[in-house]
Amino acid sequence: MSEPAIPTVTLRPGIEIPLLGLGTWQAKEGEAYEAVRTALDLGYRHIDTARAYGNEEEVGRAVADSGIDRSEIFVTTKLPSEEVGDAPRIIDESLAKLGLDHVDLWLVHWPPNNEARPDVWADVVAAQQAGKARAIGVSNYSPAQIDELTDATGVTPSINQIPWSPADYDADLVAAHRDRDVVLEGYSPFKRTDLDDAVLAEVAAAHGVTPTQVVLRWHLDTGVVVIPKSVNRERLAANLDVTGFSLSADEIAKVSALGS
Ligand SMILES: NC(=O)c1ccc[n+]([C@@H]2O[C@H](COP(=O)([O-])OP(=O)(O)OC[C@H]3O[C@@H](n4cnc5c(N)ncnc54)[C@H](OP(=O)(O)O)[C@@H]3O)[C@@H](O)[C@H]2O)c1
């Protein structure tokens, strides 16, 4: 089977992240290994995990067992907000569990106690400088919190992973990320979507695809990274099968209007 061409976007400092990856939150014990193996077989090259998901070891084993060159797989993990005081130890533990000498992206999972915490960010920057993460970023941060990190350290997170779906679409938030050269990465694309929505059904019918595929294609066509989770082979394949069509400007506008 030929590999589907998933587009990429560039993260500072010049690292390509595939716009579509596999989410692994709530993949149960044993499921994460199988899901990642299947996903890599199908052509996924981007896996999103986190220390808090408890599956770094399974993800790492699946990456190793896949036989695919490490350099072809983009792996993200995250620093739990409860453990930010221990960041240097946590990245080493994550790498040990993953069986990797670096991750492609390390994120602060949440602003600790809803604070930006530049001191924590400085530790994340140090991990990148030590070669333990190729790119670094945050998750669930506001643009103002990102500015606090930049102002204090001179280093802007390259990406912000936040809840995102057509219903969450917010042009101001998109612009706030673009203006800061921060890539927007969305999570929970399906959980946050009414998959019975009439607009999604209409667009899906026009392309002979499903509403879930329209949601994923809308992310790709708007340059937002998306990481749908599945542990089911058919759904993993369907979620990757979004390269054979694209949305018109009018369709993108209609889907984005679900957020207003
Ligand atoms: N940074 C953060 O704070 C944060 C928070 C939440 C999530 N995340 C990341 O984002 C990823 C995705 O978000 P999520 O897991 O919350 O939600 P999601 O990807 O929107 O939805 C996952 C659910 O949708 C089902 N599903 C998958 N493909 C489907 C399809 N084609 N048709 C119908 N149902 C389908 C899955 O079931 P099956 O597995 O049975 O297919 C699962 O129940 C997470 O796994 C995690 O990696 C990050």
pLDDT, tens only, 71-109 = 999 999 999 999 999 999 999 999 999 999 999 999 999
The answer to whether residue 187 is catalytic is: no
User: What backbone torsions phi and psi does residue 178 show, to the nearest 5 degrees?
Assistant: -60, -45
DSSP H/E element including 187: strand 183-187
Q: Which residues contact 89 (CB under 8 A, 6 or more apart)?
A: none
When pLDDT is averaged across residues 217-223 and rounded to a whole number, the result is: 98
Separation between Cα atoms, residue 75 and residue 89, nearest integer Å: 19
| Contact between residue 155 and residue 137 where contact means Cβ atoms under 8 Å apart | no
Whether the pLDDT of residue 154 is over 50: the answer is: yes
* Among 53, 141, 169, 187, the one annotated catalytic: 53
| Contact between residue 222 and residue 252 where contact means Cβ atoms under 8 Å apart | yes
Whether the pLDDT of residue 186 is over 70: the answer is: yes
The pLDDT, as a whole number, for residue 28 is 86
161 lines ligand 1 (CB under 6 A): yes
Q: Which of 34, 114, 187, 242 to mutate to test the pocket of ligand 1 (most atoms within 8 A of CB)?
A: 187
Q: Is the dihedral of CA 245, 248, 250, 254 positive or negative?
A: positive
Closest to 141 in 3D by CA, of 153, 133, 149 = 149
Which atom, in ligand 1's list, is nearest to the CA of 236? 28
Which atom, in ligand 1's list, is nearest to the CA of 161? 1
pTM exceeding the 0.95 threshold for the entire prediction? yes
Neighbouring CB atoms inside 10 A of 128's CB total 20
Q: Which of 25, 193, 217 to mutate to test the pocket of ligand 1 (most atoms within 8 A of CB)?
A: 25
Q: E strands of 140-179, at which residues? A: 159-163
The pLDDT, as a whole number, for residue 5 is 83
Give the distance (Å) from ligand 1 centre to CA of residue 55: 15
Separation between Cα atoms, residue 236 and residue 198, nearest integer Å: 24
Straight-line distance from the first to the last Cα atom of the chain, in angstroms, rounded to the nearest whole number = 40
SS3 label, residue 80? coil
230 lines ligand 1 (CB under 6 A): yes
Which atom, in ligand 1's list, is nearest to the CA of 192? 20
SS3 label, residue 20? strand
242 lines ligand 1 (CB under 6 A): no
The pLDDT, as a whole number, for residue 29 is 87
According to DSSP, the β-strands at 133-139 and 103-108 are parallel
DSSP 193-220: S-TT-HHHHHHHHHHT--HHHHHHHHHH
